[in-house]
Amino acid sequence: MADKAASAGGIGFCGLLTVAFIVLKLTHTIAWSWLWILAPLWIPTALVLAVVAVVVIIAFIAFLFERRQRSFR
């Protein structure tokens, strides 16, 4: 029999926070812009993309540096 306790799933913290913000917005408890209501969805994605961009830039600079070092030999 498979152990179902080991499987991960669910809505997660960011999803739960987004649902809470949407409920608060629709009940007129907060008057935030929809941009900030949905921020728990796009901010983590933006952070991951920023980290990936930095890693790609560093890898490209390292590649150019290595290529330049080989041309001097």
Kindly report, residue by residue over 10-61, the tens digit of the pLDDT: 889 999 999 999 999 999 999 999 999 999 999 999 999 999 999 999 999 9
**Cβ neighbours for 41, distance < 8 A, ≥ 6 positions apart:** 14, 15, 18
CA 65 – CA 33 distance, rounded (Å): 45
Give the model's pLDDT for residue 3: 55
At residue 72 the predicted structure's pLDDT band, cuts being 50, 70 and 90, is confident
- Helix residue spans in the chain (DSSP H): 12-26, 34-37, 39-72
**Residue ranges covered by each domain of the chain:** 12-72
For residues 24 and 30, is the Cβ–Cβ distance under 8 A? yes
Query: DSSP class of residue 28?
Result: T
Question: Is pTM, for the whole model, over 0.75?
Answer: no
